[in-house]
Amino acid sequence: MNNLVYKVYFEKVNLKGYSVGFVKDQEVLALGVLPGETAIGELKTINKKKILIVKEIINPRKDRQKPFDATYLSTSPWQIFSYATQINIKKSIIQGLFVNKDIDEFLPADEILYYRTKVEFSFDELNNKVILAFFDRLNKYKKIPVNNFKLVEPLVMDVASSILKWINRNNIPAKSLKTLTLRQSKKDKSVIGILLFKHREQIPYNCTDLSKIKNLAGILVGYSNPKSPASKVDEVFYQLGNLELTEKIGNLSFVYPYDGFFQNNLELFPKVLSKINDLIVTSVLFEITKRNNPEIYSHNLIDKLAENTTLNIIELYSGVGTIGISLCKRNFNIVGIDILESNIEYARINAKLNKCDNYEAICLAAEKVPDDYLKNTDVLIVDPSRPGLHPKLIKTILRTKPKYIFYLSCNPSTLHSDIKLLQDYYVIDFLGCYDFYPNTPHIEVLVMLRLSFIK
């Protein structure tokens, strides 16, 4: 099965968003195919997996739709799926992971286009001109030219086009460029940029013309080690304008830096924050108050006492403080912990900005949190990156046993794996799904875990 043409029927979609078929009982993956379709293509081995490079769809489904972007296979391969199909597949995938717990809430996206607040471009050359590009999802050495990208607002693409014109006016070769990252504030529509070079000597002596680009509030021009795949700023050469963004979530305001984490879907994220707040008020507060007052049987009286109950809440992987600060108007003691000093600096700024006197921010790696921090914790909130919880943190949780855990995850697979390690002591009380990433295989999942002897 090496670089030969095959006809493959695809049955389903896997956790990573690839359609799955079989050739002679061997699993074959593909992008650009819907389950129930048959595709013809070249079969290749990529990262030890059999991948069909699709050339033709024989029996297209009636709900197949034309992709919005020519680069969709690199960025959002589910653009060919109708949105109803995307939702049904995502529900099926999550329910397949959590077979013993029904989904309590599934919220689709309010907007399936123009929702992203961040995009990262690479560069290539075409007809002796530098062009914007994305890496091919199936070939890390191949780049796909970008003319448009409809997951960000047109204004962001206009800024990208203007920066590209500046690059070409200055005769900067594509081989000296690493990435261009653009981030947008949904609140005021301003855009900031990070333009990174692989070769210091190619950075122009004067970059001030960049500050004249319309809607570009600020830009950093810097060097990034070409040996690293990450777009990390290793040396700053120019900083022009403002490199902070501000956002409004409900009645709260947040500031974050050019390199700080902030949720991409600002239509759905406030609904997740509201759900966390509601669950803490209606479930956690009630149960803890009831446990602390075993002589009281009246639900109404427990509800009244719960209004004055103090909870100790710790948020790990806290970023610039969005989740913890959204809870600070209640009678809670909240500590946000993050490994990055810049995140902690902005979490403190945001706590002050929103008058949250009961919020404390600490710079510390999650896996290094002492047992004493979690021993008396009523609610532990975690929002890790895709790899999930650090194994040392899971061991700390099992030793200290916080009463409730709220786990917000952008990777259901690692979420499921982490919960399996906790299942001897915790049960799932709530499972919610939020389509932060329409047209992609990704979905945000919120789980509320309860220590099994609490109830």
Q: In this model, does residue 439 exceed pLDDT 80?
A: yes
Please write the tens of the pLDDT for every residue from 249-283: 999 999 999 999 899 899 999 999 999 999 998 88
Contact between 107 and 94 (Cβ < 8 Å): no
Say what the pLDDT of residue 137 is: 85
Say what the pLDDT of residue 55 is: 95
Contact between 163 and 180 (Cβ < 8 Å): yes
- What's the one-letter identity of residue 197? F
Say what the pLDDT of residue 298 is: 55
Residue the block writes with tokens 């991948």: 51
Rounded CA gap, 121 and 75, in Å?
A: 11
CB contact set of 89 (below 8 Å; sequence gap of 6+): 13, 35, 81
Q: With b meaning 16 or more CB within 10 Å and e meaning fewer, what string describes 329-355?
A: ebebebbbbbebeebbebbbbbbebbe
CB contact set of 227 (below 8 Å; sequence gap of 6+): none
Say what the pLDDT of residue 284 is: 83
Long-range contacts, 250-256 (Cβ 8 Å, 24+): 250/274, 250/326, 252/325, 252/326, 252/354, 253/350, 253/353, 253/354, 254/320, 254/321, 254/322, 254/325, 254/350, 254/353, 255/320, 255/346, 255/349, 255/350, 255/353, 256/319, 256/320, 256/346
Beta bridge partners of 54: 41
Say what the pLDDT of residue 331 is: 83
Beta bridge partners of 129: 126
Rounded CA gap, 210 and 173, in Å?
A: 17
CA distances from 187 to 191, 195, 248, 266, 342 (A): 11, 23, 6, 10, 22
Two structure tokens written together for 206 = 């004067």
Rounded CA gap, 120 and 117, in Å?
A: 11
Please write the tens of the pLDDT for every residue from 280-315: 988 888 777 777 776 665 566 545 555 667 889 999
Say what the pLDDT of residue 454 is: 53
Say what the pLDDT of residue 171 is: 95
Rounded CA gap, 341 and 197, in Å?
A: 25
What are the structural domains, with CATH classification, of the chain?
5-70 (2.40.50.140), 118-257 (2.40.50.1070), 269-451 (3.40.50.150)
Say what the pLDDT of residue 368 is: 97
Say what the pLDDT of residue 287 is: 78
Please write the tens of the pLDDT for every residue from 196-252: 999 999 999 899 999 999 999 999 999 999 999 899 999 999 999 999 999 999 999
Please write the tens of the pLDDT for every residue from 378-418: 999 999 999 999 999 999 999 999 999 999 999 999 999 99
CA atoms within 13 A on the CB side of 192: 21
Rounded CA gap, 135 and 117, in Å?
A: 19
Taking 3-state DSSP, the helix, strand and coil percentages for the chain, each rounded to the nearest 5, stand at: 30, 35, 40
User: What mean pLDDT, rounded, does the chain reach?
Assistant: 93
> Could you tell me the pLDDT band of residue 455, with boundaries at 50, 70 and 90?
very low
> Could you tell me the pLDDT band of residue 330, with boundaries at 50, 70 and 90?
confident
Share of the chain above pLDDT 70, in %: 95
Share of the chain above pLDDT 90, in %: 85
Say what the pLDDT of residue 306 is: 55
Q: In this model, does residue 1 exceed pLDDT 70?
A: no
> Could you tell me the pLDDT band of residue 140, with boundaries at 50, 70 and 90?
confident
Contact between 21 and 8 (Cβ < 8 Å): yes
Say what the pLDDT of residue 297 is: 57
CB contact set of 15 (below 8 Å; sequence gap of 6+): 93, 97, 412, 413, 441
Say what the pLDDT of residue 373 is: 93
Say what the pLDDT of residue 359 is: 97
Say what the pLDDT of residue 401 is: 96
- Higher per-residue pLDDT: 141 or 143: 143
Contact between 142 and 159 (Cβ < 8 Å): no
- Higher per-residue pLDDT: 303 or 36: 36
Say what the pLDDT of residue 170 is: 95
Q: 400 by DSSP, 3-state: which?
A: helix
